[in-house]
Amino acid sequence: MVRQLTMVLVMTRQFISLSLILLPIIMGLGYFLPKQNIEQKPPADQFNSSIKQAKLDIEPVKSFSLETNSSLNSDISLTQSKTRINSTQQIYEFISKNPAKAAQFISENEVAEQFAFSMSLINNWSLKEPQLALTWLQSQSNKFSKVQYEMLMRGLLKNYAKVQPDYVFYQLEYLAPEAIWHELMFDIAQAWVNQNPDEAVRWLDDLANSKQPIEYLTGAHVVVLETYAKLDMVAARNWLNKLPNKALRQQIENQLDL
């Protein structure tokens, strides 16, 4: 009995000793195996497959850009059209804010709306700096048709007359074609009598003695005498009675009751 107990104790001690030896080894294996799974890298063929997939993801975008090129061109045309409209608006704003620089821009650039821009420029500029506007228009005369140039000059001199009616009248034959004299004569008379009625009446003497056709003179005389009569009816009537041109006097009396 004692011998059997002794053998059991010996075997137990050997098992314990063996366990103490194997335990660190088992724990070490348990430590290293999970770590290897975490740090495991994908194989080379898997890496290459990822690159190929990335390329496939990019290629449809390139293909779309090429296929929609015509659509893009259409959009560009629309954008250019919008830009042109915006530019037109900007030019008109430029004309309003700085007509001198706008005139330089119109002179140096070929623009489809050149006549429209020029008309806007003249109408604006000639009220502020009529002499500069006149000089510019004369320098651009070869860019317009005869009819267009007459329209531009007509607008310019009409505004110029509001500022200096005497200058426009005495320079009229040098500034404007004869075809628009009769229109300008009325504008000159109206501007002059509004500025200085007495001076305008004295101007009528020069106008009556000018070589202008009678139909050019009648409207101007009526405008001046009608305004002057509101200030001094007797003086206006006396002036008309002394008018040496009987045909002109008759025309005025037919239109004006003094």
- The pTM score is 0.61
Around 8, how many Cα atoms within 13 Å sit in the side-chain half-sphere? 5
Model confidence pLDDT, tens digit, residues 145-204 = 999 999 999 999 999 999 999 999 999 889 888 888 888 988 999 999 999 999 999 999
CB 123 within 8 A of CB 155: yes
Q: Of 152, 237, 222, give the one whose Cα is nearest residue 185.
A: 222
pLDDT digits (tens, 9 = 90+) for 19-42: 555 555 555 555 555 444 444 444
**Sequence-distant (≥ 6) Cβ neighbours of residue 25 within 8 angstroms:** none
Residue 213: pLDDT band with limits 50, 70, 90:
confident
